[in-house]
Amino acid sequence: MNDRNYVSNAVCVKCGAVHEAKPDLTTCEKCGGILDIRYDYDRIRSDTDPAKIQARSDRSMWRYREFLPVRGDSLEDPANGQGSKTALLPKLRVGWSPFYRADRLAREIGLETLYIKDDGINPTASLKDRASAMAVVKASEAGATTIACSSTGNAASSLAGNAAAAGFETYIFVPERAPKGKVAQLMMFGAHVISVQGTYEDTFRLSAEAIDQYGWYNRNAAINPYLMEGKKTVSFEIAEQLNWKMTDYVAVSVGDGCTIAGVWKGFKDLFAAGFIDRLPRLISVQAQGCCPLNRAIAEGTDWRPMEENTIADSIAVGVPRNPDKALNAIRESNGVVVNVSDEEILAAMRLLGRTSGVFAEPAGAAATAGVKKAVGTGLIPQDASVVTIVTGSGLKDVANAMKAAGDPLLLPPDLKRLEQALSAQGLV
Amino acid sequence: MNDRNYVSNAVCVKCGAVHEAKPDLTTCEKCGGILDIRYDYDRIRSDTDPAKIQARSDRSMWRYREFLPVRGDSLEDPANGQGSKTALLPKLRVGWSPFYRADRLAREIGLETLYIKDDGINPTASLKDRASAMAVVKASEAGATTIACSSTGNAASSLAGNAAAAGFETYIFVPERAPKGKVAQLMMFGAHVISVQGTYEDTFRLSAEAIDQYGWYNRNAAINPYLMEGKKTVSFEIAEQLNWKMTDYVAVSVGDGCTIAGVWKGFKDLFAAGFIDRLPRLISVQAQGCCPLNRAIAEGTDWRPMEENTIADSIAVGVPRNPDKALNAIRESNGVVVNVSDEEILAAMRLLGRTSGVFAEPAGAAATAGVKKAVGTGLIPQDASVVTIVTGSGLKDVANAMKAAGDPLLLPPDLKRLEQALSAQGLV
């Protein structure tokens, strides 16, 4: 592979305008709409196939390089360790996260076939590492040395971590109310953290002004179209880990809409290139207390803002920044929508842990809560096959794990008392 | 591979008595000493080689099955997905953690060649997953359905997670003072957690009595010799990720001594089978406030108990439970010992994060603090090649990350004020 890649162009999802896919691409120059990266699928199909990809030793998101919007010379040549400056950037090992067949979880939910894709097992413990790893490569291609974003969550920590590994400076804008633990994680990665005395909107605005002013590379998933191209690699892995035989459904929790849109893009890419012979239906799971996109689908209307009433902070997005792509994805896939309560999310956290040894943050467990509910209400049939994506680790939010966990058995150090207590619980 | 494995026997490290390697093996029947599992290295060497292992698609600790004390039919046959009951146990994907060449970190430390083995990227976020995954397989071989241990730390969470995935019950004994967040993680995995109103010694004793009483499988790294055989897989991966060309040194943080003993066992196994042509020297890093093993090496005396004065809780072990194997390992390798202060540990956490995008818990960063100090004092030469093992993720201990992190820049949402602040810091 030379410095050419398989990208054709970038198309506005709103007005259809076609743009050249430059590394510093943001939104549509004509209407401000979000862009979608298109590929030459025929050429991909003629140059590679599933068996060739499966034979690669690279176990990371970069394994799927033909489907990625990076210059051919931006990835290291495995044969000789040579490449461009971008290829030689040190990178965290993002992707190729664990994929488990979850028979015990399936039985408890009443479903025949269920798989867990655990994307909490990533360098900074969330699926967002895929987007941030892409941001770093595109920033390098654009000649930037500094990357910025505004966020307090997984996007910020993944940007800080991936950028630190590659030697980029980062400026991260957080509202003053951001949890100190999350700010600490950012600062440990050496990010310049600006705590803004104001609302999230104030914070976002100041970051946008500063990005304009200083020419920093913009890592904002709804403005930078490449980030979704990073996120879609989760679908490539799911397909390969299923040996390219897709399940009926794939469930994902939904906040600003970028992740579900990325998941769908990944499957569409594979289908277009002939790697899979059918597309799964998406299960879009939102929190009951914050479900503007699912409401729009359910009511067949435009989306309208909602309050953000849920413990699942990573998907508590009342004004989603990528509604068009997300709604398209759900509709195109003939998807279903499920809203879950905080209690159902906490129960799904316990269920994932107890049956499968997977510790998810609330937003990470929401998809599983949605699958359980969808089976319970008959929205999806019991003999369906489903993949549920865990988008982030429970270690990100121990406070909510404590809410979900309940209390241990408190006892003096006395075997007789232990025996009584265990037999009273019917345990021994 | 049939149901035979490559284990020869189990030898007491104290009195030399030879035992048959049964699945429920604990300590020496004669003197109570800790046992060491021995293999038939000639047969391993005649049946496999580095190239054969490198060609395997399994990217987990089980990749090295010839060197592991599990029955041949305890691991799934990749060809047909068949195997014994143990082989078909669902398993978390443990091992094959990231390995990074860390040039920027090396430069800051003043060292020529430095690699990071990030074992925080494991299912429950620590190296202990390797031991617990082994415990689950051996418990299954022994016909047990319940596993127990006493611990509040990484051993407990890794046992709870790996056992949950495989469908085992767990009983975990913690002292009442155990941090609520850690207890919550255990309970999320469905462990039966017994909070003991007493000291850690009381807790340990009650767990031992209960294990006797109920016949539970014992997951205690200093009693169960197989667990070290799980831990040693980190060395197999390091060697393979170095293309079987060992570095001069490998640095590891040391608490109860089981991990450094496991690390050493792994390299010795590879050397005995001819997979590597030289053994690295170990750098044993302990906290200044709790360094009984390093003190014994430095003074050439027997070890004596110490207080446990360090923030690095995972290595705060004043009475190490595996002193013999650990001291043997350091001495046999012609190793060096380094003690680091809490301030040096916190500085190493920042250094790992800022230069390499790796977020370590204090005990996980201690080895790196030790490398820095050893280079600074001339204990190891600047042109040495070193691997530093990160044994656990910083997400396990956000409170200490907050201590290390410092404060963000606090500002109103005003671009002018931002410009002034950044230029005052010389940043733009």
Q: Write out the DSSP string of A104-118.
A: HHHHHHT-SEEEEEE
- Local structure of residue A410 (DSSP, 8 states): E
Asked if residues B116 and B105 have their Cβ atoms less than 8 Å apart, the reply is yes
Mean pLDDT, consecutive 10-residue stretches, chain A (428 aa), reads 79 94 90 94 96 95 96 73 80 98 97 98 97 96 95 92 98 89 91 92 91 93 90 98 98 96 98 98 98 98 94 91 93 98 97 98 97 98 98 92 90 96 92
- Quickly count: other Cβ atoms within 10 Å of residue B146's Cβ: 18
Asked if residues A154 and A124 have their Cβ atoms less than 8 Å apart, the reply is yes
What is the per-residue burial (b if ≥16 Cβ within 10 Å, else e) of A180-194? ebbbbbbbbbbbbbb
* Domains of chain B, residue spans: 99-125+227-405, 145-215
Substitution target in B186, B197, B345, B395 with the highest count of A β-carbons within 10 Å is B395
The whole-angstrom separation of Cα B339 and Cα B294 is 7
The whole-angstrom separation of Cα A153 and Cα B372 is 32
Nearest partner of B391 among B297, B288, B263, B226, judged by Cα = B263
Asked if residues A150 and A216 have their Cβ atoms less than 8 Å apart, the reply is no
CA angle A236–A238–A243, rounded 5-degree value: 95
Paired sense of beta strands A385-390 and B217-218, if any: unpaired
User: What does the block give as tokens for B93?
Assistant: 């994907």
Rounded to a whole number, what is the distance in Å from the CA of A281 to chain B's nearest CA? 27
Rounded to a whole number, what is the distance in Å from the CA of A233 to chain B's nearest CA? 19
Residue with the two structure tokens 């599992």 = B37
3-class SS of residue A122:
coil
Contact B188 A104 (CB under 8 A): no
The whole-angstrom separation of Cα B48 and Cα B38 is 17
**Per-chain mean pLDDT for chain B:** 94
The whole-angstrom separation of Cα B312 and Cα B366 is 8
The whole-angstrom separation of Cα B393 and Cα A240 is 28
Rounded to a whole number, what is the distance in Å from the CA of A403 to chain B's nearest CA? 8
The whole-angstrom separation of Cα A226 and Cα A36 is 8
User: What does the block give as tokens for A294?
Assistant: 């699912």
Question: Which residues of A are less than 8 Å from B241 in CB distance?
Answer: none
Contact A100 B90 (CB under 8 A): yes
CA A283 to chain centre: 15
Asked if residues B246 and B279 have their Cβ atoms less than 8 Å apart, the reply is yes
Nearest partner of B114 among B371, B391, B397, B411, judged by Cα = B371
Q: Can you give the pLDDT at residue A1? A: 44
The radius of gyration of chain B from alpha carbons, rounded to an integer in Å, stands at: 22
Rounded to a whole number, what is the distance in Å from the CA of B420 to chain A's nearest CA? 12
User: What does the block give as tokens for A45?
Assistant: 């199909």
Q: Which residues of chain B have pLDDT under 70?
A: 1-3, 77-83
User: What does the block give as tokens for B317?
Assistant: 């072990």
User: What does the block give as tokens for B399?
Assistant: 């409170």
Asked if residues A373 and A110 have their Cβ atoms less than 8 Å apart, the reply is no
Question: Which residues of A are less than 8 Å from B105 in CB distance?
Answer: none
Contact B96 A59 (CB under 8 A): yes
The partner residue sitting opposite A188, judged by closest CB among B161, B209, B350, is: B350
Residues 6+ apart with CB under 8 A from B302: B296
Residue with the two structure tokens 């790992």 = B352
Q: CA dist A94 to A75, A161, A367, B97, B129, Å?
A: 14, 11, 22, 11, 20
Look up the ipTM and state it: 0.95
- State the burial class of residue A37 (Cβ atoms within 10 Å of its Cβ: 0-12, 13-18, 19+): buried
3-class SS of residue B114:
strand
Asked if residues A421 and A411 have their Cβ atoms less than 8 Å apart, the reply is yes
- Angle, in degrees to the nearest 10, between helices A128-141 and A258-272: 70
Q: What is the largest CA-CA distance in chain B?
A: 77
Question: Which residues of B are less than 8 Å from A164 in CB distance?
Answer: 353-357
Architecture of domain A99-125+227-405: 3-Layer(aba) Sandwich (3.40)
Would you state the torsion angle of the CA atoms of residues B389, B393, B394, B399, taken in this order, to the nearest 10 degrees? -120
Number of inter-chain CB pairs under 8 A, A vs B: 242
Q: How many helices (H) and strands (E) does chain A have?
A: 16, 14
Q: Can you give the pLDDT at residue B1? A: 44
Contact B194 A411 (CB under 8 A): yes
Asked if residues B195 and B176 have their Cβ atoms less than 8 Å apart, the reply is yes
Element (H, E) at A9: strand A7-12
- Beta strands, E only, B317-359: 336-340
Question: Which residues of B are less than 8 Å from A402 in CB distance?
Answer: 180-181, 184
For the sheet with A336-340, list strands across it. Answer: A99-101, A113-118, A385-390, A249-253, A281-287, A336-340
The class (CATH top level) of A145-215 is alpha beta
Q: Can you give the pLDDT at residue B297? A: 98
Alpha helices in A150-195 (DSSP H): 154-166, 180-188
Question: Which residues of B are less than 8 Å from A406 in CB distance?
Answer: 187
3-class SS of residue B252:
strand
Question: Which residues of B are less than 8 Å from A412 in CB distance?
Answer: 196-198
Asked if residues A345 and A365 have their Cβ atoms less than 8 Å apart, the reply is yes
Substitution target in A152, A395, A400 with the highest count of B β-carbons within 10 Å is A395
Nearest partner of B418 among A220, A186, A145, A210, judged by Cα = A210
The whole-angstrom separation of Cα A265 and Cα A329 is 8
Is A99-125+227-405's fold the same as A145-215's? yes
Q: Can you give the pLDDT at residue B81? A: 58
3-class SS of residue B251:
strand
3-class SS of residue B155:
helix
Contact B428 A161 (CB under 8 A): no
- Angle, in degrees to the nearest 10, between helices A342-356 and B154-166: 90
User: What does the block give as tokens for B164?
Assistant: 């949950």
Residues 6+ apart with CB under 8 A from B201: none
Question: Which residues of B are less than 8 Å from A176 in CB distance?
Answer: 410
